[in-house]
Amino acid sequence: MLETLKKWVEESRSIVFFGGAGVSTESGIPDFRGVDGLYRQKYAYPPETILSHEFFLQHPEEFYRFYREKILILNARPNPAHEKLAQWKREGRLRAVITQNIDGLHQAAGSKRVLELHGSIHRNHCTRCGKFYTAEQIAATTGVPRCDCGGTIRPDVVLYGESLDEKVLRASMDALAHADLLIVGGTSLSVYPAAGLIDLYPGDRLALLNRTPTPRDSRANLILREPIGQIMAEL
State the catalytic residues: 118
* Residues linked to residue 224 through DSSP beta bridges, in sequence order: 209
Asked if residues 20 and 187 have their Cβ atoms less than 8 Å apart, the reply is yes
Asked if residues 103 and 71 have their Cβ atoms less than 8 Å apart, the reply is no
Nearest to 233 by CA among 79, 109, 92: 79
Question: Helix, strand, or coil here: 117?
Answer: coil
Contacts within 8 Å (CB) and 24+ apart, 202-210: 202/177, 203/179, 205/8, 205/12, 205/180, 205/181, 206/182, 207/5, 207/8, 207/181, 207/182, 207/183, 208/184, 209/183, 209/184, 209/185, 210/22, 210/184, 210/185, 210/186
Q: How remote is the C-alpha of 16 from its chain's centroid? A: 14
